[in-house]
């Protein structure tokens, strides 16, 4: 029963439903099931006492407050890049001087995502938001299907937080281990650089994405009505 909300979120996401609808449904479903099964009471979700608000809901909102402010700043800066024409200049330069075919377009996307993934590994969501307009513009100009653009964006950027010393997941892991050292003596003592070459899964994803961009494995294009097609049948925009 406890896994039902997670399974519902995964199924909805696979079916292509908006991520906010997926997560919102999962949160509501988890709350209803938890209350009905007696796993927690209403005060665990939201309560007011001693002049303060507490519970999972306000704590979750407070925990994401700083990230939300950062996201608003980053999105605003991204819009300034678009409104000033800077993004168009970069995309046009790449299309005229670097990109010669679909392989070149995908390798350019891969390099851009790698650069942003390394620079902003602490929070990969920020890196995604920063580089997404460039990925979308270059991919659309070269006829790549949105699924293909999103695949290159996500797999490339999401590799780095798991092995770079300043990656968000590495820092979270180290913080968790350090806080539990006194309780669980068998836990290993890791340094920030110890994950660099031991988190092989992230490296494998990055390398496979590079191979797919170079060889064209799984490459799809956008048809006239937005459908996914295997070969490019329309001229570049």
Q: Are residues 55 and 118 in the same domain?
A: no
Domain boundary among 14, 30, 63: 63
Return the residue matching tokens 């991919």.
139
177 lies in some domain: no
H-helix or E-strand spanning residue 23: helix 19-36
Q: The domain containing residue 221 runs over which residues?
A: 85-164+197-229
d(CA 228, CA 151): 14
In order of 13, 100, 101, 108, 136, the CA distances from 97 in angstroms are: 38, 8, 11, 11, 18
Residue 113 — pLDDT band, cuts 50, 70, 90? very high
Considering the entire predicted model, what is its pTM? 0.74
Please compute the mean of the pLDDT values over residues 96-107 and round it to a whole number. Answer: 91
17 and 50 belong to one structural domain: yes
CA distances from 199 to 19, 73, 162, 174, 206 (A): 28, 32, 7, 14, 12
Per-residue pLDDT at 237: 45
pLDDT per residue as tens digits for the range 180-237: 887 888 888 888 788 788 888 889 999 999 999 999 999 999 988 888 888 876 544 4
pLDDT digits (tens, 9 = 90+) for 61-85: 888 888 788 778 888 887 888 888 8
Counting the structural domains of the chain, the total is 2
Same domain, 58 and 90: no
What is the pLDDT at residue 25?
A: 93
- 94 and 151 share one domain: yes
pLDDT value of position 186: 82
How far is Cα 34 from Cα 29, in angstroms, rounded to an integer? 8
């Amino acid at each position: 029963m406890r896994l039902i909300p997670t399974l519902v979120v995964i199924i909805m996401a696979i079916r292509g439903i908006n991520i906010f609808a997926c997560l919102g449904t999962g949160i509501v479903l988890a709350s209803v099931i938890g209350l009905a099964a007696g796993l927690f009471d209403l005060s665990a979700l939201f309560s007011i006492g001693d002049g303060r608000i507490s519970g999972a809901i306000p704590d979750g909102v407070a925990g994401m407050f700083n990230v939300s402010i950062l996201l608003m700043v980053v999105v605003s800066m991204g819009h300034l890049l678009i409104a000033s024409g800077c993004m168009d200049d970069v995309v046009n330069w790449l299309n005229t001087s670097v990109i010669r075919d679909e392989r070149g377009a995908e390798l350019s996307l891969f390099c851009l995502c790698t650069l942003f993934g390394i620079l902003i590994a602490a929070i990969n969501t920020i890196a995604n938001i920063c580089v997404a307009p460039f990925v979308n513009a270059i991919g659309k100009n070269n006829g790549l299907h949105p699924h293909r653009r999103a695949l290159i964006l996500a797999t490339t950027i999401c590799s780095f937080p798991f092995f770079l010393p300043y990656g968000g997941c590495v820092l979270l892991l180290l913080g968790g281990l350090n806080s539990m050292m006194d309780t669980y003596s068998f836990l290993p003592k890791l340094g920030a650089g110890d994950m660099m070459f031991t988190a092989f899964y992230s490296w494998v994803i990055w390398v496979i994405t590079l191979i797919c961009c170079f060889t064209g494995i799984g490459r799809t294009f956008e048809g006239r009505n937005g459908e996914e097609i295997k070969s490019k049948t329309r001229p570049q925009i």
